[in-house]
Structure 1
């Protein structure tokens, strides 16, 4: 079968976002700029800008860049815990964005407003409880994200497989599954368990179009099965690629460091220093547990083609 003409299972997500493939490129801090969102969109997926690391003016610039590179739908991922959220939402609306993924806050806060503006709203949840609250708040779909995912995670450490089983028959809106998805076989498994799309972060972070520093991309390619750890649960849990900074955090946690002591070690701007500027020893490198399966830097298009080929092969192997 030609992967360009793949027939996906029935998915409301394809119609909701007007996309060809039920794959969402995650909106990640420091790596998901206009180039990546546009490339993912042109590959038939939904491309998301990661607004969490962008001041409103930068977000405006990156939206314009993405729109100059593709005519296909793109969206933004906006964490709701920052004081710039309202301004980011205004900028995105002014620039014509009508697909919003929200996270790290209550879906009740902005969903009614965005729906009145004619937007599609998706919220990210790490527990069955929050997934149900997202549906009750009126979102169009929910991302259920297991703690295998990179970056900031839920405190309950529910795995993707378990979380999907806990929630798939309790919601009526479409489910997008995230956390540890890095192959076509994983996409097939997600569909078999009730998901209608997947959200992929780490594999897209390592693509040519990602704004991640080349040092960070090469570090991802060299990662092993045990190269990531969930750290800083006293602050905000985050999955990190092991380096000198992560080791300092681990040593502090083993010594029962307080929240303030951990914050002092973390400091400010450490994620930017690692992921964007390329300081792979002292920077904060946020990646998912599936990073060990990243072994080359592909274009977005080649990554998506690879996922589709793997999906077809996995499906044929069980027929």
Structure 2
């Protein structure tokens, strides 16, 4: 059993509960996120120092260079989410896949912390949330705006205005829709190339 955590505190709790490994997910990740706002760069070495079980890194990893960096920080492997959204095999709607490809730097935002923090692409629904925040909303107000199945409406049914579009900050580096096997092959090649390039550096 593997458990996803966003802090050292919860990594230790997961270890005490008997999980086989933990995935430490940084603030950059898409979808639901931790309230601590710890970035992958800072979270991974802290968790690696604190636990004795295998550690996977997540959040902002979509390249072989990112995988190498995570492992240099103490991770035993990585979990990749956002990059696989823009693949042929992903069940996400083509409109959402294209929105991920079109996303640039700063296209996502972490919001709805009072319910469950979630990183979203900016769209009409996201703007509606921001406007609601200007009136100091209650949790019930936020729940009413969110409604039900809004993520399904956006990511899987293709409603790019009213849907919840969950994706990570790494979307700014995703610029094509390719087979999932190609994603894996690219990451392995990039990982090996990055290792070779680093071996030439005189520290």
Normalised-by-shorter TM-score class: over 0.9
For 1:169 and 1:222, the matched residues in 2 are separated by 37
Corresponding residue number in structure 2 for 1:290:
170
Corresponding residue number in structure 1 for 2:153:
273
Match of 2:5 among 125, 148, 153: 125
Task: State which drifts further: 158-167 or 227-236.
Answer: 158-167
For 1:64-79, list aligned pairs within 5 A: none
Corresponding residue number in structure 1 for 2:80:
200
For 1:169 and 1:126, the matched residues in 2 are separated by 15
Q: Give CA deviations for 1:224-261 in whole Å, capped at 9, x if unaligned.
A: 11000001011111000110000111121233222111
Corresponding residue number in structure 1 for 2:94:
214
Q: Give CA deviations for 1:202-228 in whole Å, capped at 9, x if unaligned.
A: 001111100000000000000011000
For 1:253 and 1:154, the matched residues in 2 are separated by 20
For 1:293 and 1:150, the matched residues in 2 are separated by 14
Deviating beyond 6 angstroms after TM superposition, the runs of 4 or more aligned structure 1 residues are none
- Shift of residue 139, structure 1, vs aligned partner: 0.7
Corresponding residue number in structure 1 for 2:26:
146
Corresponding residue number in structure 2 for 1:262:
142
For 1:1-319, list aligned pairs within 5 A: 121-319=1-199
Q: Give CA deviations for 1:10-36 in whole Å, capped at 9, x if unaligned.
A: xxxxxxxxxxxxxxxxxxxxxxxxxxx
Q: Give CA deviations for 1:83-111 in whole Å, capped at 9, x if unaligned.
A: xxxxxxxxxxxxxxxxxxxxxxxxxxxxx
For 1:218 and 1:201, the matched residues in 2 are separated by 16
TM-score by length of 1: 0.61
For 2:182 and 2:36, the matched residues in 1 are separated by 35
For 2:111 and 2:153, the matched residues in 1 are separated by 18
Provide structure 1 residue ranges, at least 5 long, that are not aligned to the other structure. 1-120
SS of the aligned residue for 1:168 comes to helix
Corresponding residue number in structure 2 for 1:43:
none
- Shift of residue 125, structure 1, vs aligned partner: 0.7
Aligned length: 199
SS of the aligned residue for 2:148 comes to coil
For 2:2 and 2:192, the matched residues in 1 are separated by 28
Provide structure 2 residue ranges, at least 5 long, that are not aligned to the other structure. none
SS of the aligned residue for 1:318 comes to helix
SS of the aligned residue for 1:169 comes to helix
Q: Which has the higher contact order (CA 8 A, sep 6+)?
A: 2
